[in-house]
A and B are shown apart, each in its own frame.
Chain A
Amino acid sequence: MPPTSRPLACWKSLLRSSRHQKATARSLTTYHHSKPASQTPITLPWNALNATPHVNRKIKTYPPPPSPAAKFKEPIKDLHEAQIAVLDPTGARSSLFSKSNPEAARVGDILLVRLKTGDPFAGVCINIRRRGVDTGILLRNELTRVGVEMWFKIYSPNVEGIEVVQRAAKRARRARLTYLRKPKHDMGSVQNIVLQYQRSRSAIQGGGQNDRRGNSRKKGKARR
C-alpha cells in the first residue's frame, strides 16, 4: 500500500518508510549529465563585452521640472524694488540716501524727520543702515538734557518727509558715528540749529504760508 493513501490509519508504517527514505536521502547523490557540446552556447569574450550586464545597467533619470528659483535668484531685491516703487514713487527718499548721489545725506548731517502723526524729530545722523525698503537712519539729539536716539525707516509711510538741516563740516571718516555718544564728542542739543533753519526757511517761502508739506519730498536739494 502506498503510504499517502490512508495516512491516519497507518502512522507506524508511514513513519517507518519515511525513516528509511531519510537514511537513503542522506547519502543521495546525483550524477552530472554533461550536455553535448553542440547544445552549449559558445561565450566568446566579445559577446560577453557586448551583452548588457545585469548590474551597472543604466537607471533611467528624468529631467528636472522648470525652476522659478533659477530665474529669480534675488527675490528679496525684487521685493524691495516692488515696494519702493509703491512707497516712494518720486524716488526722492531713495536719492536722499543713495550712495551714488553726491548730494545725498551722510552721517554727521543734521536731519529733520517729519512724521504723519506726532512731532517732528531732528538730530545728528549717526548711522545709515541700508537694507533696501527696510533702510533706516539713526538720529541723535538731546531733549531736556537727556541724550535721545531714534531710528526712522526712510520708506515708512509714517515718515512724511526728511530734510537736511545742516551738512557736516567735514566728511565723516567712519560709517557709524557712535563716538558721538561719548561726552567728549557729544554735540548736545541741535535744537537751536533746527529752529534757525526753520526760521530762515519760512522767511524764504514768504512769511505767512508755513506749509512744509509742499516740498517735503525735495528737502536735500531744495536746501542748497
Chain B
Amino acid sequence: MAPKLPTSWAQLPPTFLLPDALLPLIAKRGVKYGWSTAPPRNKHARFNQPTQGIPKPTTGPAAALARKAFTLPLRTGALAVKKGMTAIYDAESGKRTACTVLQFDRVQVVAHKTRAQHGYFAVQVGSGWKHESNVTRPLLGHFAQAGVSPKRFMAEFRVKDENGLIPVGQILGPEWFIEGQFVDARADSRGMGWAGGMKKWGWSGQPASHGNSKTHRAMGSSGASQGSGSRVHPGKKMPGRMGGHQVTTQNIKVLKIDAEKGLVVLSGCIPGPDGCTVKIQDALKKPWPKVPEAVLSGSQVIEPLKAMA
C-alpha cells in the first residue's frame, strides 16, 4: 500500500474546483520549517533501547525521584501561626518543658502537583483568609477551581507519591499530627537588618590595642586568591543583611494537640518571631509516624467543598 502523504493545501485540487469556504482568506506561504508529533528520527535511538540490558539512567526526572524516595515524607505538612512560647509542667514528675504554641487557621488543600504534569508530587496548602478584592484574578480562578476560599498564606509540601495527595479542599486540623511524633518546623527567621561580620558570622574582630587604629569590629582579610588576592572567592562570608531567611529546625516533638482551639504545642523553640507562619511536616530523620486512617481521610471535610473537589 502506498504511504499516505500529508495533505496540505498544495495537494488540494485546483482552486476552481474548491468551494469558497475552503480557501484561505489570506494568501499563505508554504511552511518551510514545520514540526511533527512523530518520534524524532534519531540515528542512535536503536542503541538506547531499554530491552538491551543497559543500566537505568542515573540522571533525569525518574532518577531524581528515585533518589528522593527515601527522604520524601509520605504525607503533606501544614501551615500554622506561631503564637509564642511558654512552658508545660508534668504534674507527676514536676518536669518543666519549654514549648512553642502554634495555631492552625483554616488550613486547606488547594492544589496538587503531579509527576505527569509537574514532574514531582506535592500538595499545595493554604491557610488564613483573604478578601477577594485583595486577590488577583488568576489566583481567584485558582481558588475557585479548588472550591476553597482565597487563602492568605500558601505553601507546597512535597510527598513521595500519589498516595500522599489528599483530596483538594480537605481541611487539615492540628489532629493531622499526633502527640509524641516528631516534626520539622521551618519559618523565616527574625530579620536582624544589616549586621557586621562579628554579629553575623561570629568573627572575633580585631584587637583593641597593639597599634590598632579604628578597626576593631571590621572583617580582616577577605582571603587570598591566585597568589596575590586579585579577587574574592564566591560565597565569601561578608557583613550584610542578617536573618529573614528560611530556617528549619529538625526533630521537634509534638507535646500536645488541641483540636478545638486549633493548637499544636511543640517542644522547645522554632525559628521566626511570634505571629509568623510556620511550615510543619513529619520529621525526615525519624521513622514516619503511624497515622490512623481517619486522620488521613480527613473526616471533617465540609460538605460543599467536598462536592466541589
Contacts and interface: CB of A to CB of B under 8 A. Distances in A.
Size bin of chain A's contact surface: 35 or more
Interface string B117-158: 000000000000100100001001101100111100000000
B9 interface: yes
Interface string A20-33: 01101111111000
Nearest to A27: B27
Interface stretch (A118-126, A127-135, A175-183): A127-135
Contacts, number: 131
B41 to A, nearest CB: 20
Given A61-B144, A76-B84, A158 B132 contact: no
Interface string B7-27: 101111111000010011101
A72 interface: yes
Size bin of chain B's contact surface: 35 or more
B86 A65 contact: no
Contacts of A66: 106
A156 interface: yes
Nearest to A6: B2
B2 A79 contact: no
Contacts of B137: 59
Interface stretch (B68-76, B187-195, B203-211, B260-268): B260-268
B105 interface: yes
Contact of A155 (B89, B140, B260): B89
A158 B103 contact: no
Contacts of B92: 157
Contacts of A184: none
Given A83-B89, A87-B89, A59 B140 contact: yes
A156 B94 contact: yes
Interface of B: 2-3, 5, 7, 9-15, 20, 23-25, 27-30, 81, 83-84, 86-94, 96, 101, 103-106, 108, 129, 132, 137, 140-141, 143-144, 147-150, 171, 258, 260-263, 265, 302, 304-305, 308
Please give me the 7 A-B residue pairs with the lowest Cβ-Cβ distance, nearest first: A157-B94, A68-B262, A64-B149, A69-B105, A72-B261, A64-B129, A158-B94
19 contacts: A4-B5, A21-B14, A25-B9, A25-B27, A25-B28, A26-B29, A28-B24, A59-B144, A61-B132, A61-B144, A64-B106, A66-B106, A67-B105, A67-B106, A67-B129, A68-B105, A72-B260, A79-B263, A157-B89
